[in-house]
Structure 1
Amino acid sequence: MMNTTQSKQAREHQLPFALQDGRYVGLVEKVEFTHGGAGNQVTTISGVRYITFWDSRTKDWKEGDIVAFNAFKGVLWHNGPNVLQASNIAKFDLANAEDHRFGGLVVNRRQFDVMVAALRLLGKAMENAQNVASGADVGGATCVELNDGDVGSIMTCEGVHRGMTLEEVDAFCDELLNGPIVDWTVKVPPPKAGGSGARAAA
């Protein structure tokens, strides 16, 4: 029987994480105020203390909120040390985190081909569901709809986000096959020191 449940890690975003536009997402844990002439603040976001500059009249977040922000290292004063800073802090809705970067996911060719085959089967099952909704007879073929309590609920992380349409699934599959997001570069580890190396063909 297919396992249609998800782990806690798959259901919940692990903070902090990066967005594809270069921003980070984290939890505001603490705000400290300094008394210098610049009036800067120190904001702790997901365990990291940042020097921050924000206007209390326009900010839309508070301690305990999830925020998106730009993070960088830079000097505050002439010849001063590089310090971690955060800017453009704004409240962030995790339900809209559709560009969550999963990092360098590494799969072998067999795993990749299984992923593509599964996406094609998913697309066919979604198409079957659309045909059934239109009154067609699909002869008992598998159907998948978003938030159907089965595979379709995995597609939305149990309602955390909107999932993907049939057209988006097909486009994603085509991108995997033809797009720039797949790197087939093979990295061969160097031979171990003292090894015999490759033998010449007889």
Structure 2
Amino acid sequence: MGQKHFKNYIEVNLWEDSLNSRLFADVKNVDDFYLRLSMFAGNKMGDAKDTLVFLDEIQEYPHLLTLLKFLKQGDRFTYIASGSLLGIALAKTSSIPIGSIETEHMYPLDFEEFLWANGFNEFSIQGIRNRFLSKAGLDEPMHAKMMDLFKKYLLIGGMPDAVNMFIQESNIVKVRKIQSDIKEFYAIDASKHDA
């Protein structure tokens, strides 16, 4: 998604960095961070308005959580930090940058969001909601359409990649492959934090 909205998109997977080069392991300050970032992806470091730096698995380097405050104050780029155990990392961080970070919790699509993804607009969703609240039924064609979409939602679930694949290709085999991959990758991700 960041690639769609920013001309320059820099993704730094800090878990991979911690296993390999450890380029970001000993960042001391903002200037040091920018030096290392330029060594990593200097050709993508554009203007503030067109550069997004995505720090994935930031819990690997808790000192970078504190540095986010100073990176934000410098306003050089837009930053997103994510991590599978970010809440635990925040609890262990010596200095949380209060007021400098916004927390967003990510969840799978619910049924209403699934309807949006399948072309429903707010008018149609509100109309269905109003009928439900007033205990008025849907006529047979509308009911059949909603039941068909609900059954598909139960099969596909709410993971965005699986929903997108279904919308693009209407191929449940490809959807199942994505679901299987997600399950496998989550297991691998969880196992690295087993200790």
Both proteins in one fold, TM over 0.5: no
Q: Which has the higher strand share?
A: 1
TM-score range, shorter chain: under 0.3
Q: Which has the higher helix share?
A: 2
| Higher Rg | 1
